Amino acid sequence: MKDQFNDSLVITDERDKFQLFREANVACAASGTVTLELGLSLIPMVVIYKLDFFTWSIVSRLAKVRFISLINLVLNKKSVEELVQTDYNKQNVVKSVLDLFFDKNVFENQINDLKKFKEIIEGDNKNPSEVAANKILEYLKN
């Protein structure tokens, strides 16, 4: 899939990244810190993630969670589309992104969920990463 996105933009400067966030309508993001940042910026997204087969075989047996994205983990529901392993292919990425662009319900539902996510993360005026980590730990304990 990487070959099809030869002209992709790679951002390494934090200021450039947040400038792009302000201009974005939707995003595709690898699971991790960027989903936290996009969520707090209220940018609807599709989360994509693929590991090599061997690593995935081990991780999928050890990690017993329903979701991989911070948004879904914190909200404890599927709000953000997650395309993981075999679900991560060109057709699914295109469909999921087009749904965000052209299906008003999909877009608005995710925006509403992102507002709830932001409220949870920023509600205590604590460090957002710490709040997210605590929510994930809470989820894992249950």
- For residue 24, the tally of other CB atoms under 10 A from its CB is 13
Coil, strand, or helix at residue 109? helix
81-84 and 45-49 strand pairing: parallel
Q: What's the token pair of residue 31?
A: 């699971």
| Residue 71: predicted pLDDT | 93
| Total domains, the chain | 1
| Residue 116: predicted pLDDT | 96
Q: Please give the distance of CA 30 from its chain centroid, rounded to a whole number.
A: 7
Rounded mean pLDDT of the chain? 82
Domain span including residue 111: 2-141
**Average pLDDT score over residue span 16-34:** 83
**Average pLDDT score over residue span 1-6:** 48
Coil, strand, or helix at residue 82? strand
**pLDDT classification of 133: cutoffs 50, 70, 90:** confident
Per DSSP, helices labelled H in the chain are 14-23, 33-40, 53-62, 70-75, 90-102, 104-122, 128-141
pLDDT tens digits, 92-113 = 999 999 999 999 999 999 999 9
**Average pLDDT score over residue span 68-87:** 90
